[in-house]
Structures are given as C-alpha cells and as structure tokens.
Amino acid sequence: MSENHQDAISQFDKNELRVTLSYKDLNAEFSGTPETVLQSLVSFLAHQVPALDLANKLSLNYDVAQLSRDFQEYIKITPEGPIVLSPNRKLSDRQMLCLQLVGQRIAFESGRAGASSSSPLSELQEKTGMISKTLSSRLSELSKEGCVMRESRPEGNNYKITTQGIYWLIEDLGKKKGSKA
C-alpha cells in the first residue's frame, strides 16, 4: 500500500464506511454509517438506473430501518426482547400478535435478539397474554391470509410475520389512526 493511500485511510474514522461509485458519466461518493451509505447507494441507483427504479416501484420489502420507523410508536426492543405498547388505543388480538412478530423480526435483523426472526407459540402466548385457544385461532386466520408463516421445527412450530402481513398491519393501523383523529 502506498504511503499516500495509508495516510488517506488513517484520516478517516475507522467506523465510517466510504464507497465510491461510477456509472456511465456519473460519479458519486458516499460515507457514513453502513446504514446511511446503503440507503444513499440504493437511492442513487434507483434514481440513476431506470430499470432499477421500475423494479423498485414493483418491489415490496421492508428493511429493519423502515420497520423501526413505521412501528416505533408500538414496538420497543428491550434486553428481554421486543415488547408491544398500545399508546392511547386498544389493539385487536390480530394487531397485537402481528406487532409482536414484527418486533421479533426487528430484534433479529438488528442483531439484538435470538437466532431467528420467528417465535414459538409459548413465547407468543407469554408476550401477548392471549389464551392458547385464542392465540391458535388468530394464528390460523393470519396464516390462511398469508400474513403469518408457520415454520415446523422438531421442538414445535414457530411463527413469523410475512411481507404481506407487514403490509396489512401498516394499512390496518393506519385506518385505526385515521378514524381516531
């Protein structure tokens, strides 16, 4: 490595990510936290590459940053795991259950909980306070609608939120919020 290159590297914060991108006659440089750089890079590509922009318009996927923003009013990640809050309104069993599963996904994807984005039935019962029969009925309904996915494991079934389930929850909570105003 050249001396100039080493000097340039030592000038930057060790925790800062730097990316230089060239596309056709466009050049861009991004620096900051990995999340900031990734968001800037994706935004740049979406605006500069028409095919990616079209694909972006047709794509539905929620990253941990977006989930955190969309559900910050309802979900908090604690050392004990995700908890669901219901600020100034009653949540339905379906909303409570889906929020708990979104919380598990946020905790997993942010590296703050467990080895999976799914939750076992016993944990869902404990966290939501639902009786077993009600919980099983809601999970069955949500699974049939494609909002929740069941994963069979040797120790029992685990459940996780689907992209469709997140979309439904955002829409459903938005309707409730709008009717409350």
The pLDDT tens digits of the residues spanning 132-172 come to 999 999 999 999 999 999 999 898 899 999 999 999 999 99
Domain with CATH 1.10.10.10 in the chain: 64-180
Looking up tokens 């990616």 gives: 52
pLDDT tens-digit map of 49-69: 666 556 667 777 888 999 999
**pTM summary value:** 0.68
What is the CATH code of the structural domain delimited by 64-180?
1.10.10.10
8 A C-beta contact, residue 165 and residue 142: yes
DSSP SS3 for 152: strand
Beta-carbon contacts of residue 61 (< 8 Å; ≥ 6 apart):
163
Residue 21's Cβ-count burial label (10 Å; 0-12, 13-18, 19+) is middle
DSSP assignment of 18-50 equals EEEEEETTEEEEEEESHHHHHHHHHHHHHHH-H
Which pLDDT belongs to residue 98? 96
DSSP 92: P
10 pLDDT band (50/70/90 cuts)? very low
